[in-house]
Structure 1
Amino acid sequence: MTFTRPRTRREVGGLIAASAAMIAVPAVLRAQTAARVVVIGGGFGGASCARALRKADERFDVVLVEANKTFTSCPQSSEVIAGLRDIGAQQFGYDKIAAEGVRVVLQAATLIDAPAHKVTLADGTTLDYDRLVLAPGIDIDFTALQGYDEAAATVMPHAYKAGEQTVLLRQKIEAMPDGGTVAIAVPANPSRCPPAPYERASLIAYYLKTRKPKSKVLILDAKDNFSQQKLFENAWQQLYPGMIERIPLSQGGRVTGVDVATHTVITEFGNYNPEVANIIPPQKAGRIAQLAGAVDRTGWCPIDAATFASKLVPDVHVIGDACLGGGIPKSAGAAQAQGKACAAVITRDLTGATSEPPPLTGVCYSLVAPDYAFSLSGVYQPKGDLFAEVEGGKTSPVDAPPATRTAEAEAATAWFKALTHDAFG
């Protein structure tokens, strides 16, 4: 994805850094405010949207509501699992966003009263809004697989919401004896970052090759085909021959449940007892989107792709992984692009600005070894209620030389630095 560095930060009088409770705006500034926009969710989409709104019009009272003091990034978290990176390198705070004039409220939003335009926070206080942006990311659907609930996730981690689960999976792999099997259950689409499970399998194989060479990775897949499949399979043959086995949907790879007591992974055609089970269940839009009434029977949020406006709730916009997006992937880069475009739409609607939202461009990198990566990029435009890929499928050639793979690995590191700098300052 293409990124621009943030403009020089301007200190805003009367505003202080984020705290666990909402910080009131000075009366003089509030009187000059054009509108209040509340953004719920401080990930790549929400943080980028809040910053873009504040830069677009300093009269906006922009409030970013986030339950956690620290955001932990999913991109590059597979490097943490493989022992290549510390979890601290994945974590970002909100002080710089607050210093730019965005009010950061470190509380969970617990209720949305859409007719009254009010958000209720965990401490019982409420926020009025003129526009509301929901950027809740995903929740794990703990009803999708028999026997897999939050307690089961402490034994068979999903590690698909970065943080404690990421570290837990890493610890289980480190404790596994040489000769063991790490099984990864991959869900069907739609799912957060479709290439991520295969990147994870690759980097786990790298760890095993260097530390526990008798071990294997088993991918139990609810799909027959997946994004960048030829690139991954070619890399596995080159780097990890015989270490990664994938069982696709048509061969019985779809996981239907687990038995935690016996550490069994259950599929339609057989059961497995791996030493480490990484169960990635189906997902759905984050809980606050459900509470707002913005979720339909699919578990995701239908929107007007041109404006990100909810099809179900007025004056509410939804961005990022929670959306029914069509051709645009559920990825950090896409969420960030949507956050900026949504901010432009809201600014246009509230101020009469004539500028068009920026194009939705995105790129994602898949790292299969520390010095081996490839990428996929696309450009997306609204088409009805979904996004269509208008310039897509630009990916690395399968037969690229080693120097190209190394260069893309370096580009992946630079991309992550740009992505996080752009979102969190």
Structure 2
Amino acid sequence: MTLNRRAFIGSGAAAAAMLSAPMLRAQGKPRVVVVGGGAGGATAARYLAKDSDGAIDVTLVEPTRAYYTCFFSNLYIGGFRELSSIGHSYGTLASEYGINVVHDWAVGIDRDAKTVTLAGGAVLPYDRLILSPGIDFVDDAVPGWSVAAQNKMPHAYKAGSQSELLKAQIEAMPEGGRFAMVAPPNPFRCPPGPYERISMVAHLLKEINPTAKILIADPKEKFSKQALFEEGWQKHYSGMIERIGPDFGGGNVSVDPDAMTLNIDGTVEKVDVCNVIPAQKAGRICDMAGITEGNWAPVVPATMQSRMDENIHVLGDATSQGDMPKSGFSANSQAKVAAMAVRGALTGSKVFPAKFSNTCWSLIDTDDGVKVGASYEATEEKISKVDGFISDTGEDAALRKATYEESIGWYAGITEDMFG
């Protein structure tokens, strides 16, 4: 569903009309509260409502009325998509599936009372709680940078206004200017994401500022699809991109947002735009609920239940679950497993063995798409990879174009699966 102004206003009104309904309609029904309306949360809410045929009262808590997908946001930066094409509203979930959509922040969880407290003061009781809050950033992960500096050095790892800001900064770079990225350490949301972003920035600069340069400070020795990206950078953007890995100081970086500089292992680099993608952790509501170990929330693979509380399920980027990458596809896959487990627990419906899958597509240049993916199964210890695939270097142009077109079809399919 593509967001436009009329749809946004209409869906907002529809969602607002539902706000007084949950407590009235919850009588006699098991109650599920879902926190977070992205690839995990929206999918789980929709499947619970759809497959239970009204037997479960489902409330979705999401602060934003328009949700912008992080997947495909790089294509907006590169000029391949309009921002509106990655924006989605919640009106269909409310009007067609009977989900109580509440636009507010969840600010507290009482696991003993089984309630969620919202910033507006409402308290939502639950029989099962599903948390899909995405990521937050580790404090002081990049010395000199904090969320307070995100307008000067955007992260753009939560899509929407940050994506718009980063693109505007790139477009305003002086001729022959310099773009820098501070890449994150593992694990982080969307392993190929920073490197697809570099590709899309390079594509944009090649068109509007061809003498500009790109610098990557990277703490990792290797990264997802590295051979594919490096082959593509050499082919399409030769001489434009320089990556500094940990052997040369890429893991020892600080920034000065006011001076617009990076200090890479003692060498100060002046840049015109700096995209800082810090180390990441589970969305803070997981910490509030007391269900994290370190930066992430460990889960039981077969059901996505928290290992600290069987009445809470955690999805997507926030989890520590094993072999699956932190991606929109993964969250959507995990949401279906969790929804089936919750529905079985609350209504007695049949629960089938958990199966998971993931594919991550990346665009390197026009019609030059690549992908990596795998299938997974639940073991007692973790979600375990069964088999996988990845694009080959040296593929012909027709195959790369077909891969890109496949990704376009997937985007349409997954967003319909999420939002109806």
TM bracket (short chain): over 0.9
Q: Map 1:86-125; keep pairs closer than 5 Å.
A: 86-99=82-95, 100-125=97-122
Which residue identity is paired with 1:411? E
Q: 1:193 and 1:225 mapped to 2: Cα distance? A: 15
2:9 — aligned with what?
A: none
Distance 1:348 1:312, change over 3 A: same
Q: Secondary structure of the equivalent of 1:184?
A: strand
Q: 2:310 and 2:134 mapped to 1: Cα distance? A: 20
CA contact (8 A) 1:97 1:424 kept: yes
Matched, 1:271 2:268: yes
Which residue identity is paired with 2:373? S
Q: 2:246 and 2:22 mapped to 1: Cα distance? A: 54
Q: 1:326 and 1:217 mapped to 2: Cα distance? A: 33
Of 137, 157, 160, 1:160 maps to 157
CA contact (8 A) 1:78 1:199 kept: yes
Matched, 1:181 2:178: yes
CA contact (8 A) 1:199 1:368 kept: yes
2:7 — aligned with what?
A: none
Q: 1:341 and 1:271 mapped to 2: Cα distance? A: 48
Q: 2:158 and 2:402 mapped to 1: Cα distance? A: 28
Distance 1:308 1:26, change over 3 A: closer
Matched, 1:46 2:41: yes
2:20 — aligned with what?
A: 23
Matched, 1:238 2:235: yes
Of 322, 327, 333, 1:331 maps to 327
Which residue identity is paired with 2:312? V
Q: 1:31 and 1:183 mapped to 2: Cα distance? A: 55
Of 145, 149, 171, 1:148 maps to 145
Q: Post-superposition shift, 1:284?
A: 0.8
Q: 1:98 and 1:109 mapped to 2: Cα distance? A: 19
TM-score by length of 2: 0.93
Q: 1:219 and 1:271 mapped to 2: Cα distance? A: 14
Of 253, 257, 261, 1:260 maps to 257
1:341 — aligned with what?
A: 337
Q: Secondary structure of the equivalent of 2:14?
A: coil
Q: Secondary structure of the equivalent of 1:317?
A: strand
Of 358, 371, 375, 1:375 maps to 371
Q: Secondary structure of the equivalent of 1:42?
A: coil
Q: 2:64 and 2:17 mapped to 1: Cα distance? A: 9
Of 179, 191, 195, 2:192 maps to 195
- % same residue: 41
2:395 — aligned with what?
A: 400
Q: Secondary structure of the equivalent of 2:271?
A: coil
Q: 1:326 and 1:275 mapped to 2: Cα distance? A: 39
Q: 2:317 and 2:243 mapped to 1: Cα distance? A: 26
Matched, 1:416 2:391: no
Figure out how many residues of one structure are paired with residues of the other and give that number.
Answer: 406
Matched, 1:72 2:68: yes
Q: What's the C-alpha RMSD, in Å, of the aligned pairs? A: 1.6
Q: 1:395 and 1:287 mapped to 2: Cα distance? A: 33
| Unaligned residue ranges in structure 1 (runs of 5+) | 1-15
CA contact (8 A) 1:252 1:270 kept: no
Q: Deviations over 1:173-201 (max 9, x none)?
A: 00001211111111111000010000000
CA contact (8 A) 2:36 2:42 kept: yes
| Unaligned residue ranges in structure 2 (runs of 5+) | 1-12
Q: Secondary structure of the equivalent of 2:15?
A: coil
Q: 1:41 and 1:26 mapped to 2: Cα distance? A: 20
Q: Post-superposition shift, 1:341?
A: 0.6
Structure 1 runs of 4+ with >4 Å offset: none
Q: 1:256 and 1:247 mapped to 2: Cα distance? A: 11
CA contact (8 A) 2:45 2:58 kept: yes
Q: Secondary structure of the equivalent of 1:253?
A: coil
Q: 2:39 and 2:281 mapped to 1: Cα distance? A: 18
Q: Post-superposition shift, 1:252?
A: 1.3
